[in-house]
Amino acid sequence: MTDYRSIPLLFILVTCTFWLAHAQAEENRVTEDKTHVHVWNQFAADCLALSHRLVASRAVRTQSHIGGYQGRPDFYREENVYDQTTGKLISKVQWERENPSRLHAIEVYVRDQQGRTVRDYAAAYLPDYRNAPMQTLINLHAYNGELHSFRQFDASGDRTYEFCEGNYRGKPVQIRLFENDLFGNSPRVDQLMASKLYQTCFQGIPANADAFLKPH
C-alpha cells in the first residue's frame, strides 16, 4: 500500500533534478509573472502559518536532521513535527542552514478524527533563484469504501494529478491520471472518467480547489 504521507515530498524529490537544470529559464519566467510570484509566495507563507496553528493546538514531538543535494549535502535543516498522542505527522519544514529564517520546503497535513489525511499542502523553493516556490501542491483526499483517492492542484488552482487505489467490488484497482490525461483528448481516459469506478473513487472531492487555495 502506498505511503500517502510521503507523496508530496516524493514529487518534490523526483523533480528536483529537473528544477536545477532549468532554474535560470524558470526564474526568467516567474520574474515576468508578478501574479504568479505573489500567489505562490503567499501560499508558502500560508502553509507555514497553518503549520504553526496545528502545532500550537496539541502536544507534539519534533525530530530534526540535516539534508541537502549533490554538491550541497548540508543545505537545509528539516524539522518533522508529530502529534504526541497519535504519532501522526503534522508538518515537515526545511530551513536553509546558511539563512536559518528562510523557508526551503514545507508539507502540512490536516487529518480527520480517524487520523486519515483529508488534505495536505506542500511548497518548495529551489536552492537558488528564490523568486517564488518552484512547486506548490494541494491534495484533497477521499475515502470511499476500500478506496483512497486524492485530487492534486497547484496554488493557482490548476488540477495536475489524480490518484485512486484500493479494492473495488473485490478487485484491486489503481488509477493514476496526470495533467495531460486530465485535459487531453484520450478516448481511454474519457471512458474511464465516465465509469462507475472513477465516480466512486473521487466521490466527495471537489473538481476545483478554490476553497483551499488558502491552506486551512
Mean pLDDT of all residues in 47-71: 97
Residues in Cβ contact with 157 at an 8 Å cutoff, skipping those fewer than 6 apart: 208, 209, 210, 213
Question: Cα 1–155–11 angle (5° rounding)?
Answer: 35
Beta strands, E only, 146-188: 147-153, 159-168, 171-178
From residue 185, alpha-carbon distances to 7, 51, 190, 191 in Å are: 27, 39, 8, 11
The tens digit of pLDDT for each residue in 84-127 reads 999 999 999 999 999 999 999 999 999 999 999 999 999 999 99
Mean pLDDT of all residues in 198-214: 97
What is the spatial order of strands in the sheet that 103-111 belongs to? 60-69, 72-83, 89-96, 103-111, 117-124, 135-144, 147-153, 159-168, 171-178
- pLDDT at residue 33 is higher than 90: no
Instruction: Give me the amino acid identity at 45.
Output: A
Phi, psi of 195 (to 5 degrees): -80, 160
pLDDT over 90, % of the chain: 81
Q: Cα separation of 201 and 178, whole Å?
A: 16
- pLDDT at residue 7 is higher than 70: no
> Residue 123 class from Cβ within 10 Å (0-12 exposed, 13-18 middle, 19+ buried)?
buried
| Ramachandran area for residue 198 (φ above 0: left; ψ -120 to 50: alpha; else beta) | alpha
User: What's the pLDDT at 129?
Assistant: 86
User: What are the residue ranges spanned by the domains of the chain?
Assistant: 4-212
User: What's the pLDDT at 151?
Assistant: 98
| Ramachandran area for residue 145 (φ above 0: left; ψ -120 to 50: alpha; else beta) | left
Q: Are 137 and 193 in contact (CB under 8 A)?
A: no
User: What's the pLDDT at 15?
Assistant: 42
DSSP secondary structure code for residue 143 in this structure: E
User: What's the pLDDT at 14?
Assistant: 40
Read off the pLDDT band of 32 (50, 70, 90).
low
The mean pLDDT value of the chain amounts to 89
User: What's the pLDDT at 185?
Assistant: 81
Mean pLDDT of all residues in 126-153: 96
The tens digit of pLDDT for each residue in 153-165 reads 999 999 999 999 9
- pLDDT at residue 2 is higher than 70: no
- The cell numbers describing 160, all together, are 495536475
